[in-house]
Chain A
């Protein structure tokens, strides 16, 4: 081989290496970019959620002098609780607004003026009077709940300088509101209704407590059914079942069930539990039944993994000391596998908490104001509440939807953190 050709080969190889190293760099950067796209979306996601949702913690209130007129609340003077409860408290709110703006007289203007304060303000006065009837006849300065349109404006979600036709509040309402603000009568205070109320058509009164209680009942039913059934199935398949076609079928079946779309479980719930068994619609009981069928495969798979992780030496030692097979399983293997099973169960429960598609099928999308008091009372669930609010046109529901999502994610975070802690605390290496 001549000197020149060796030179050219070396050059060709060097060129090739440069190209190959460049490709290497490109490939590696592509991988990192892909990962960053995923993580970047996650960041964007939390940024918008929290950015949209944090304002829901506060709520606008208006300070008004309310005369608790005994002629309105208790015209008979009997202090009869039923009569007091039935009085027209919203009228007191209207009177106090009128007193604050005596120049407003025409009927239409008055209606606009009264629109500044929420219909929930009357309920607040009613609660005050019911607590302590001695306040009747006095005049008090009260922070009354503002209407959601006022709230949106004060929080700056709807710009004040927009043309009147683009605003929910017209120029006069804005004028009154500005007058109130200049007197220091408008303030943002803690939004307790968001945490204590059920759903409502008025965004300022809508809360997530009803949905939270509904979700709680549902998870209770799910846990009570899917944990024992899941553990029983796992124990049977792992410790007792003979290896034959039947158990193979059960295994394939469980893996498939884990991947069946959740809406199909909803169809099962509708056809079986509601139409065939006649269970009530919208009830957490039915939701829990459907969700437990969905959670079952998750718990079974986790529990089987926990059982296989228990070393055979434990089993052999128990059998060697004269325990029966059932005693070996129940007294020795099961307690050792329990942390793993519980971890799987919590993760399954977290998934059940976030699930909403099957609940739409069984009527849990109803508009329900009352806080459910039992698993058969009509209820909705947290994710379904998010779905319902996301569909609502009012601007004030946007922040509430985001806030409800943040609460839902917090619950999920706590559950997953509990699962991780449980695993760390009780995990054993043999």
Chain B
């Protein structure tokens, strides 16, 4: 049986277990009389069902994780001596071939691989048989064990509730595990990269051309992994985006929260927030096919040479994407400023705009800074717009009319397409990912702390 069928079988078994457990409890309850029973029959059923399903599913998961490891070592051990002692990378390729032969993706040509493929599939079949048997037997054994515990004085409800609580704890640990998983997976790949390229060169090198040699005598095959042009490009585009998003977003928020009538606000605010719901790939399409040619034409008409993948077009569209982000966060912050401050200012004769500029804005400043920091982290990590509209070649410049590339563009370029997994080129993507993760993490933590402290100030 494959794992899906097995899982369904276990769930079916658990349903039966629930029914039997409940039935036994009902019979026992009738015999014991109305006051002699601790838990409702449903809890007894649930107890039996949970005991039947959980260990069996745990075993199933363990088997899923360890089967490929075991299969690999067993198959490789059966290969001839000469093949077995090949370096790890080539062995991996051969193993992949074997698996592809088994799946029927490629025809078997080499008799050695054919034999190994046969061994692989026979081992896999017997492993599946054993695992199916073991899972079902385990389910039955725990079912019977739990079933025999159904007695009038058995505290089934407390047990079931304890088990559910454990399940809830396990569920909530997934969020933590995700963060740890991100960090570890990116960190270890980056570590492999830093064994080939020194971190110093990566962080401070001025030239980026991630080509690795296919032949030794190839031109331009040296490969340079200095990421400064990427950082500079990312900062340039994000900076342009912030130049658009911060003034427009902030002024919109001020207008909406301080000037607009209730009715106008109830239409304008959701409309502005539609901008936040548009998928980024759509912005990318827009930047590449509408805004960039527009800017190029505009530049030509006044005699400027604008690259067709200019940082300006990308930054502009990214800024528009971030407007609702800035405006809704600063809207929250501005409305949180206590009314007493405004009233005091009006009482001294200040106009509305003077109140906003001289009283409300300074009072809201920490919160607004937090919002801007969050927006910067969004801009740095934004991928689709830059992949579609920014340049591909690393270019160290501060001129917004030229094409620059960013960290996220390079990650996508390095990882799409086929290449071996442990080449410096692929691993460089993970090093970039690590930098991206750490920078955005720091920005987020600082921003959230600033916003929280600000909120406490007025509560």
- Complex-state Cα separation, A5 to B444, whole angstroms: 58
Residues of B within 8 A of A270 (CB): 415
- 8 Å CB contact of A261 from B179, B255, B288, B383: B383
| CB–CB A260/B381 < 8 A | yes
| CB–CB B271/A39 < 8 A | yes
Q: Does A254 contact B (CB under 8 A)?
A: yes
Q: Does B182 contact A (CB under 8 A)?
A: yes
Among the interface residues B279, B320, B415, which one has the most CB atoms of the partner chain A within 10 A?
A: B279
| CB–CB A263/B281 < 8 A | no
Give A268 Cβ to nearest chain B Cβ, in Å.
5
Residues of B within 8 A of A275 (CB): 421
Residue of B nearest to A362 (CB): B415
Q: Does B27 contact A (CB under 8 A)?
A: no
- Complex-state Cα separation, A27 to B263, whole angstroms: 21
> Quick one: given A252-B445, A300-B175, A357-B280, are A42 and B275 in contact (CB under 8 Å)?
yes
Residues of A within 8 A of B324 (CB): 38
- B residues 315-370 in Cβ contact with A at 8 Å: 320, 323-324, 327, 351-354, 356-357
| CB–CB A296/B178 < 8 A | yes
- Complex-state Cα separation, A350 to B378, whole angstroms: 19
- 8 Å CB contact of B353 from A24, A263, A354: A24
Residue of B nearest to A254 (CB): B175
Q: Does B181 contact A (CB under 8 A)?
A: yes
- Complex-state Cα separation, A20 to B352, whole angstroms: 10
Give A217 Cβ to nearest chain B Cβ, in Å.
14
What mask results when residues 379 to 400 of chain B are scored 1 for a CB within 8 Å of chain A, else 0? 0111110011000000000000
- B residues 275-333 in Cβ contact with A at 8 Å: 275, 277-282, 284-286, 288-290, 320, 323-324, 327
- Complex-state Cα separation, A408 to B277, whole angstroms: 11
| CB–CB B430/A261 < 8 A | no
| CB–CB B384/A408 < 8 A | no
- Complex-state Cα separation, A262 to B378, whole angstroms: 10
Q: Does B248 contact A (CB under 8 A)?
A: yes
Q: Does A178 contact B (CB under 8 A)?
A: no
Q: Does A421 contact B (CB under 8 A)?
A: no
Stretch at the interface among B11-19, B29-37, B161-169, B212-220: B161-169
Q: Interface size on A (CB < 8 Å)?
A: 83
Stretch at the interface among A162-170, A184-192, A197-205, A235-243: A235-243
Stretch at the interface among B119-127, B199-207, B435-443: B435-443
Give B252 Cβ to nearest chain A Cβ, in Å.
4
Give A303 Cβ to nearest chain B Cβ, in Å.
11
Instruction: Given contact pairs A260-B182, A324-B161, enumerate 18 new A-B contacts (beta carbons under 8 Å).
Output: A23-B354, A24-B351, A24-B352, A27-B353, A31-B251, A34-B247, A34-B251, A257-B179, A259-B377, A263-B412, A326-B161, A354-B277, A357-B412, A360-B383, A360-B416, A387-B387, A390-B284, A408-B279
Enumerate chain B interface residues (CB-CB to A < 8 A).
65, 68, 157-158, 161, 164-165, 167-169, 171-172, 174-176, 178-179, 181-182, 185-186, 189, 247-252, 254-256, 258-259, 268, 271-272, 274-275, 277-282, 284-286, 288-290, 320, 323-324, 327, 351-354, 356-357, 374, 377-378, 380-384, 387-388, 408, 411-412, 415-416, 421, 429-430, 433, 436-437, 440-441, 444-445, 448
Enumerate chain A interface residues (CB-CB to B < 8 A).
20-21, 23-24, 27-28, 30-35, 37-39, 41-42, 45, 48-49, 228-229, 232-233, 235-237, 240-241, 249-250, 252-257, 259-265, 267-268, 270-272, 275-278, 293, 296-297, 300, 324-326, 350, 353-357, 360-361, 363, 365, 383-384, 386-387, 390-391, 398, 401, 405, 408-409, 412, 416
